[in-house]
């Protein structure tokens, strides 16, 4: 028989919810975690290609987007990557540092989920999966602190029976809209609206781009090919690899820039990041005038990409020697290679996005505790808030840090 009263109820057994639960349980609080899907931590399991990029060695406020760029600072300082690494080491989990200081499990992201569940279990946290929460009501009794009543359906696949539970602190850790099959849900936003909390507009992010013009066909033909690029949009710049897919463009460079891209914006891709392409081709025109543009680009870029670029950008000169191409035309081709401007038609949307940009407006949240300013006892942690990290372990670090900050005070 389920106890009906808890110090803390956490909605959502993802990264932020489990971290809140275990931190609160360390303070001898009674904690219940309600998870609507059939398994805790589905996104943790899928993260980092199955090996979870669980944090980054260098985490700064600059790695996050939010309407209030200062909001994340306090929590990130309170719980650092070193703190999480200490837990990973305590559990004997093998991990490695990859490029850009990203930390990954060597074996499997299951190690991270098992670690969190183990910590919760040892501390007596109750975790119920298939527990669908339908309603949350604040009960105000004169002279007493508010209580939250949560109405949930347990074994929601087979039962419709509702159970009412009460807690002093309710933690909303239901994540965001990305990837519905991994638990993506708008429940946290709906709850925020019921409590009259403002929302920052949301959209899919860390997400591939799609194209409707000639670039669509080019991407289809180059599917699977990748190249290191510099990519710019709205004043942000990332140096990473870009991948052509049958739908458009993906890879770390594209995912990173998608955080800064708005529909209708252009992206600019430098295909030869270390090289001034005009200068290089003009020097070749003098040194090696009987060679073609393609010959020199084939040494620097995948051949299939060079062929596509040639058809698109300098079809009239493809059979010409550099000696036969004017300085101005060579400069134009070089400028194109260093600043290829493209206009994505759309992103792939929540179906494949790693995160949701926007969320519960942080203006109404205490940055030290994650408690709502107008509703004592009501907390929001993790991705449901308007805090979104760059690619590279930053989103998990936000989940750990915000969950920990709430767990200390709930
Ligand atoms: C494919 C993929 C790979 C990723 N890889 C990385 C990575 O390597 N590194 C990184 O830093 N970030 C990564 N991310 C982002 C990261 O997973 C999220 O930012 C992080 O999981 C957010 O944590 P959260 O606890 O706020 O939300 P979630 O982890 O999404 O957890 C929310 C939980 O709440 C549950 N829930 C939803 N609604 C309800 C409800 N009404 N009642 C009860 N429960 C509910 C959901 O089922 C889910 O279990 C990845 C994301 C995806 C989709």
**Residue 192 burial (C-beta neighbours within 10 Å; 0-12, 13-18, 19+):** buried
* DSSP-derived secondary structure for 237-265: EEEEEEEE-SSEEESHHHHHHHTT--TT-
Q: Determine the distance separating the centroid of ligand 1 and the alpha carbon of 15, expressed in angstroms.
A: 6
Q: Determine the distance separating the centroid of ligand 1 and the alpha carbon of 24, expressed in angstroms.
A: 20
Whether 393 lines ligand 1, by a CB cut-off of 6 Å, is yes
**Residue 109 burial (C-beta neighbours within 10 Å; 0-12, 13-18, 19+):** buried
Profile the chain (410 residues) by mean pLDDT over runs of 10 residues.
83 98 98 96 96 98 98 98 98 97 98 98 96 92 88 86 94 94 90 98 97 94 97 96 97 98 96 97 95 94 96 92 95 97 97 97 98 97 98 98 98
**Selecting from 3.40.50.150, 3.40.50.300, 3.40.109.10, 3.50.50.60, what CATH number does the domain 5-203+355-407 have?**
3.50.50.60
Return the pLDDT at 2. 58
* Homologous superfamily (CATH) for 208-347: Translation factors (2.40.30.10)
Residues near 236 by Cβ (< 8 Å), separated by ≥ 6? 257, 259, 260
What is the Cα–Cα distance from 372 to 169, expressed in whole angstroms? 11
Whether 52 lines ligand 1, by a CB cut-off of 6 Å, is yes
Matching CATH topology for 5-203+355-407 and 208-347?
A: no
Whether 257 lines ligand 1, by a CB cut-off of 6 Å, is no
Report the nearest-CA residue for atom 4 of ligand 1.
Answer: 47
Q: Determine the distance separating the centroid of ligand 1 and the alpha carbon of 359, expressed in angstroms.
A: 14
Return the pLDDT at 1. 47
Q: Determine the distance separating the centroid of ligand 1 and the alpha carbon of 46, expressed in angstroms.
A: 10
How far is Cα of residue 152 from the mean position of the Cα atoms in its chain? 29
- Residue whose CB lies within 8 A of the most ligand 1 atoms, among 88, 108, 174, for a mutation test: 174
List the domain boundaries for the chain: 5-203+355-407, 208-347
Whether 32 lines ligand 1, by a CB cut-off of 6 Å, is no
What is the Cα–Cα distance from 254 to 84, expressed in whole angstroms? 28
What is the Cα–Cα distance from 198 to 189, expressed in whole angstroms? 9
- Residue whose CB lies within 8 A of the most ligand 1 atoms, among 9, 10, 11, 12, for a mutation test: 12
304-307 — which CB contacts under 8 Å span 24+ positions? 304/221, 304/222, 304/225, 305/222, 305/225, 305/227, 305/244, 305/271
Q: What is the pTM of this model?
A: 0.96
Residues near 137 by Cβ (< 8 Å), separated by ≥ 6? 148, 149, 151
Q: What is the CA radius of gyration of the chain?
A: 25
Paired tokens of 403: 């969950």
Whether 175 lines ligand 1, by a CB cut-off of 6 Å, is yes
- Measuring CA to CA, which residue among 22, 28, 36, 26 is closest to residue 7? 28
Return the pLDDT at 185. 86
Whether 46 lines ligand 1, by a CB cut-off of 6 Å, is yes
Q: Determine the distance separating the centroid of ligand 1 and the alpha carbon of 152, expressed in angstroms.
A: 20
DSSP strand pairing (162-172 vs 378-380): parallel
Return the pLDDT at 143. 81
Q: Determine the distance separating the centroid of ligand 1 and the alpha carbon of 301, expressed in angstroms.
A: 37
Q: Determine the distance separating the centroid of ligand 1 and the alpha carbon of 399, expressed in angstroms.
A: 9
Whether 23 lines ligand 1, by a CB cut-off of 6 Å, is no
- Residue whose CB lies within 8 A of the most ligand 1 atoms, among 38, 350, 354, for a mutation test: 354
Report the nearest-CA residue for atom 22 of ligand 1.
Answer: 383
């Amino acid at each position: 028989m389920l106890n009906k009263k808890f110090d803390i109820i956490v909605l959502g057994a993802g990264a932020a919810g489990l971290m809140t639960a275990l931190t609160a349980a360390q303070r001898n609080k009674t904690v219940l975690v309600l998870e609507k899907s059939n398994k805790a931590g589905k996104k943790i399991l899928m993260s980092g290609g199955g090996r979870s990029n669980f944090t980054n060695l260098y985490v700064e406020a600059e790695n996050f987007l939010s309407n209030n760029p200062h909001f994340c600072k306090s929590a990130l300082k309170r719980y650092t990557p070193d703190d999480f690494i200490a837990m990973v080491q305590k559990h004997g989990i093998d991990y490695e540092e990859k490029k850009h200081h990203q930390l990954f499990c060597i074996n499997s992201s299951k190690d991270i989920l098992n670690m969190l569940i183990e910590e919760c279990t040892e501390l007596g946290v109750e975790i119920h999966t298939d527990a669908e929460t339908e309603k949350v009501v604040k009960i105000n009794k004169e002279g007493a602190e508010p209580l939250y009543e949560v109405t949930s359906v347990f074994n929601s696949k087979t039962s419709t029976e509702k159970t009412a539970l009460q807690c002093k602190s309710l933690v909303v850790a239901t994540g965001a809209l990305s990837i519905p099959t991994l638990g993506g849900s708008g429940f946290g936003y709906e709850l925020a609206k019921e409590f009259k909390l403002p929302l920052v507009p949301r959209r899919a992010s860390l997400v591939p781009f799609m194209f409707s013009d000639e670039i669509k066909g080019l991407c289809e033909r180059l599917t699977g090919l990748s190249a290191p690029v510099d990519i710019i949009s709205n004043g942000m710049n990332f140096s990473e690899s870009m991948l052509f897919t049958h739908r458009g463009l993906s890879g770390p460079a594209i995912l990173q820039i998608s955080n800064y891209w708005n529909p209708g914006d252009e992206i600019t891709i430098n295909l030869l990041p270390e090289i001034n392409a005009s200068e290089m081709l003009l020097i070749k025109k003098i040194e090696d005038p009987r060679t073609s543009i393609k010959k020199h680009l084939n040494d620097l870029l995948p051949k299939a990409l060079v062929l596509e670029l040639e058809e698109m950008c300098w079809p009239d000169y493809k059979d010409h020697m550099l000696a036969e191409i004017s300085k101005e035309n060579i400069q134009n081709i070089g400028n194109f290679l260093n600043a290829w401007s493209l206009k994505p038609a759309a992103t792939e949307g929540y179906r494949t996005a790693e995160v949701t940009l926007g969320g519960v407006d942080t203006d109404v949240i205490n940055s030290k505790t994650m408690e709502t300013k107008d509703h004592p006892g009501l907390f929001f942690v993790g991705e449901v808030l308007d805090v979104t990290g760059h690619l590279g372990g930053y989103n998990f670090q936000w989940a750990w840090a915000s969950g920990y900050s709430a767990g200390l005070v709930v």
